[in-house]
Structure 1
Amino acid sequence: MLFKRKTLFNEQDLPSVLDACKIGNHQAQRCLIRQFLGYAKSISVRYAASFEEAEEIVDDCFLKVFQNLEHYDAAQPFKAWFRRIVINTAIDYYRKNLKWQGQASLDDLEVADCSHDILNEISAQEILALVQRLPPAYRMVFTLFVIDGYSHKEIAGMLGIQEGTSKSNLRDARRKLQGMIKLNFPHLYQLYNWPNKGFNAN
């Protein structure tokens, strides 16, 4: 009787883990998840409105990774390929739920752009909590542009919107963030937002 030989891989050698994943080795797949779960969560949580949404994005992300691993070019860094899949999965999640997402108003805020000085005084966890409270369209553009470094042209193509819409969503996201900072961190807002500071609103 012939037994199927177990595929060997080295957990410390990513190419061997990927090769084993390609042929459906569940142990290798669990190994890959362990290695990249934290990284996937750190990206998805920036695009999600909650940690529960982020978990859904991560689950879908790994499913797509295993489904598309044959298309991965081993000559390119795996982490960059993986990162793009996480971001694309977050965008797909956003599009899928778009019909349920209302566009929140700006509550007639008349304030300057969000000051980097203020953001430097707020912890990463506090900034994340504020970003998660942005309306979905604002959060998506803000994260793609400010955090992940995509251009407005790239964002427009990724989200299927006009460049002008991307720019206006970014502007409104920053205004919304500053409104929340004013509400939640009034001492910082007063310290860094004197009328004569002349903040740039690009």
Structure 2
Amino acid sequence: MPEYNSAVLQELLDGCLKKNRRSQELLYKQFYGYAMSICLRYTRSREEAKEILNDGFLKIFTKLDSFDQSRSFKNWLSRIMINTALDHYRHEIRHDVLDDVEAADQVFVDETVINKMAHEEIISLIQDLTPAYRLVFSLAVIDGYTHEEIAEQLNISVGASKSNLSRAREKLRIMLSKINIDNYERVSR
């Protein structure tokens, strides 16, 4: 049975449609962690993610009447959070040009480093990417967008999307390699 049919969620959604503050608060609390995990992938800091999260929930509360209840609420919420993050990105760098940095040399990364890393550490590495790389990486790798969809969302060419994804992966490899080297040096002392 789809999650939108659960009695509790349906009751919350009905309350939110009636502009009931308590229902809005409970819906916010119920989906806060899930929504925050999405927002963190598209931002540099927890504060920026929270700003996007709050903007996203405002959109949810004002556009809830357009939600198709035959579909998954969680997927709808996810799409709104991603689009809100993209809107935030467009607003922040409206006149900036996407980075065009030379690709780094190939770097070997021990996969055991990735396996031992906590989710928060991986998100932290993604947050350290430039905004263009972070967005393309998150959209393509984590959220499954195609390069055509990314190009349309970010108003860039498909080639720029592919290039930014390649460069984002390379930067992440370099960061992971540094962690690998740091761990090796720590153990060998």
TM-score (norm 2): 0.85
Distance across 1 between alignment mates of 2:108 and 2:92: 29
User: Match of 1:15, SS?
Assistant: helix
What is the root-mean-square deviation of aligned Cα atoms in Å?
Answer: 2.5
**Counterpart in 2 of 1:143?**
138
Q: Quick one: structure 1 residues 96 and 118, their matched pair in 2 at CA, closer, same or farther if it must change by over 3 Å?
A: same
Are residues 1:25 and 2:20 paired? yes
Q: Is the 8 A contact 1:103 1:135 kept in 2?
A: no
Q: Is the 8 A contact 2:108 2:177 kept in 1?
A: no
- After superposition, what is the alpha-carbon deviation per residue over 1:159-191, rounded to whole angstroms, capped at 9, x for unaligned? 1111111100000001111122222331679xx
Q: Quick one: structure 1 residues 188 and 178, their matched pair in 2 at CA, closer, same or farther if it must change by over 3 Å?
A: farther
- Structure 2 runs not aligned, ≥5 long: 1-5, 185-189
Distance across 2 between alignment mates of 1:26 and 1:188: 49
Distance across 1 between alignment mates of 2:150 and 2:51: 22
1:45 corresponds to which of 26, 30, 40: 40
- After superposition, what is the alpha-carbon deviation per residue over 1:136-172, rounded to whole angstroms, capped at 9, x for unaligned? 0000000111111111111112111111111000000
Count matched residues.
180
Q: Is the 8 A contact 1:40 1:58 kept in 2?
A: yes
Distance across 1 between alignment mates of 2:78 and 2:109: 27
1:69 corresponds to which of 40, 61, 64: 64
% identical aligned pairs: 43
Distance across 2 between alignment mates of 1:21 and 1:69: 8
> Which is helix-richer, 1 or 2?
2
